[in-house]
Amino acid sequence: MKPAVNVSEKNLIKYSFEVEGGNFDTAGTVSTRIKSILKESGLPSDVVRKSAIVSYEAEINVVSYAKKGFINLSVTPTAVEIEVNDEGPGIPDIEQAMEQGYSTAGQHIREMGFGAGMGLYNIKSYSDRFDISSEVDKGTVLKMIILLPHS
Ligand SMILES: Nc1ncnc2c1ncn2[C@@H]1O[C@H](COP(=O)(O)OP(=O)(O)OP(=O)(O)O)[C@@H](O)[C@H]1O
Ligand SMILES: [Mg+2]
């Protein structure tokens, strides 16, 4: 994993991490890092947990299907925002990809314990706002927002 760029301004948290496609040895390191950053910043544990789940699933998808990607993390006064964009094959039918159990994962990915077809479904379930867009042969962009409880 390349070092994160911390472009923090004032008391807002902003990071960008690069994810290497195909490298299962380092898969999960970015989401682990995100989890500890959010935990250390004192956010409520359920916000940290949801953010860790959605970033983990998105990171594994970049490793499984794309060439490379970036995970951008921001914490605003009202939410954790996680954007994941990749350079990869894209998703031809997003509605189908979102279905529970739908997976195109090959044997290699399944042997790693992935490929249940639950990742995107879980990302959507754990996010307060979720947006996905994709272009075939270009890549995919996911945007997840997890709201902070009102103070
Ligand atoms: N970043 C991506 N680029 C290209 N295709 C993707 C990407 N993310 C998901 N997909 C496609 O959408 C399908 C469903 O993804 P999802 O994460 O829900 O399940 P999975 O990765 O197959 O299995 P699981 O996440 O349960 O281990 C994938 O099998 C793949 O075909
Ligand atoms: Mg997945």
pLDDT bin (cut points 50, 70, 90) of residue 150 is confident
Range of the domain at 108: 5-147
Res 12: pLDDT: 84
Reply yes or no on whether the pLDDT at 135 is more than 70.
yes
CA angle 20, 31, 26 (to 5 degrees): 40
Strands 68-75 and 5-6: unpaired
Backbone dihedral angles phi then psi of residue 115, each to the nearest 5 degrees: 105, 20
Res 141: pLDDT: 99
Beta bridge partners of 135: 139
Percent of the chain having pLDDT more than 90?
Answer: 91
Q: Is 77 exposed, middle or buried (0-12, 13-18, 19+ CB in 10 A)?
A: exposed
Ligand 1: which of 30, 120, 130, 134 to mutate, judged by most atoms within 8 Å of the beta carbon?
120
The number of the ligand 1 atom at minimal distance from the alpha carbon of 98 is 18
Instruction: Write the Ramachandran bin of 55: left for phi over 0, alpha for psi from -120 to 50, otherwise beta.
Output: alpha
- Measured CA to CA, the distance from residue 94 to residue 116 in angstroms comes to 16
pLDDT bin (cut points 50, 70, 90) of residue 5 is low
Reply yes or no on whether the pLDDT at 2 is more than 90.
no
How many domains would you assign to the chain? Answer: 1
| CA-nearest residue, atom 5 of ligand 1 | 91
- Measured CA to CA, the distance from residue 147 to residue 45 in angstroms comes to 13
Q: What's the 8 CA to ligand 1 centre distance in angstroms?
A: 31
Residues with CB under 6 A from ligand 1: 57, 61-62, 64-66, 86, 88-91, 97, 102-105, 114-121, 140
> Minimum-distance ligand to the CA of 91?
1
> Minimum-distance ligand to the CA of 101?
1
Give buried/exposed letters for 1-20 (b at 16+ CB in 10 A, else e). eeebeeeeeeeebebebebb
pTM: 0.94
Q: What's the 118 CA to ligand 2 centre distance in angstroms?
A: 6
Residue 70: which CATH number?
A: 3.30.565.10
